[in-house]
Amino acid sequence: MGRKKVVASVAGIGLIFCISLIAHLPAAFVLKFVQLPRGIELVSPKGTVWQGHLQQVRWQRQSLGTVDWRVHPFDLLTGRLFASVKFGRQSDFHIQGKGGIGASFSGKPFLQNFHFSVPAQTIVDHAPLPVPATAEGLLDVMVKEYVFREPFCEQANADFEWKNAQLSLMAQALPLEKVSANVVCDNNRITLKGKQRSLVLRSEYSVTMDANRKYKLDGWLQPAPGFPESMEKMLQMGLRANDQGRYNFKFNGQL
């Protein structure tokens, strides 16, 4: 009987030691074994795997800012690893956000109530546009849910809003004012529906794309008084206005 008590005590001490070791496992130690995508660098990790801080995440020598995280251990009982993150302070891209990120035990990464904002000019600076452009305003993105599946997504639902939107092309400023869109995904079929409203232009558009990157774009533009004359001439080169003054367009292809 005494021997059983000794064995039980040793086992109990060992269990407590293992739990303590896991609970206090340094993030810096664990991240040494993580294979990162090319160009990504994690700078000065602190804290534990359960709650920690990265002084900086660098991508192609530019800073994405700080990252703070807190893992929710009880979510492990539901078959998933889930953490709350906050990122973007001191970012070279001026992007900031927070939300839930995780992965199921089957290996599917996901986002949940993930919000971030980025200046429109940052997107223009990194987009392969055919002509020089500048942009004003802030793009807000709210990802209600996203579950990854090759090549795009298994499920997704996100809202985009471009506030105080203005785009300048060829020295012509175009006040878009408010641009909004909703994106949903179901088994790699992506559907985007959006609209734009301003005093000088109204537009609506929809895009669908499948897993083979085949897309269809459908929509219309309706200029109003004050719309730049040079831009309307460009529209007239490829489109024809209907009786309501709308320029309807349809395109399809493959990316």
pLDDT digits (tens, 9 = 90+) for 153-185: 999 999 999 999 999 987 788 999 999 999 999
Long-range contacts of 245-252 (CB under 8 A, 24+ apart): 246/220, 246/221, 246/222, 247/220, 247/221, 247/222, 247/223, 248/219, 248/220, 249/217, 249/218, 249/219, 249/220, 249/221, 250/216, 250/217, 250/218, 251/216, 251/217, 252/214, 252/215, 252/216, 252/217
Kindly tell me if the per-residue pLDDT of 206 is higher than 90: yes
| pLDDT, position 35 | 64
Return all residues near 248 (Cβ < 8 A) that are at least 6 apart: 219, 220, 239, 242
Instruction: Give which of 22, 25, 30 is closest to 48, Cα–Cα.
Output: 25
Which is more confident, 18 or 27? 27
Q: Report the percentage of the chain scoring pLDDT > 90.
A: 49
CA distance 243 to 222: 11
Which of the residue ranges 50-59, 179-188, 209-218 would you say has the lowest mean pLDDT?
Answer: 50-59
pLDDT band of 78, cuts 50, 70, 90: confident
| pLDDT, position 37 | 62
- Indicate the Cα dihedral angle 44, 49, 52, 56, nearest 10°: 30
Calculate the alpha carbon distances from 147 to 99, 107, 160, 178, 231 in Å: 14, 11, 18, 28, 40
Name the CA radius of gyration of the chain, rounded: 25
Instruction: Give which of 62, 69, 63, 24 is closest to 45, Cα–Cα.
Output: 69
The two tokens of residue 24 are 């206090």
pLDDT (average), residues 203-223? 96
Domain boundaries, the chain: 3-254
pLDDT band of 140, cuts 50, 70, 90: very high
| pLDDT, position 17 | 42
- Mean pLDDT, the chain, as a whole number? 86
| pLDDT, position 172 | 85
154 burial (CB, 10 Å; 0-12 / 13-18 / 19+) is middle
- pLDDT (tens digit, 9 = 90+) per residue, 52-74? 898 988 888 888 899 999 989 88
Contact between residue 88 and residue 66 where contact means Cβ atoms under 8 Å apart:
yes
| pLDDT, position 118 | 94
Which is more confident, 252 or 38? 252
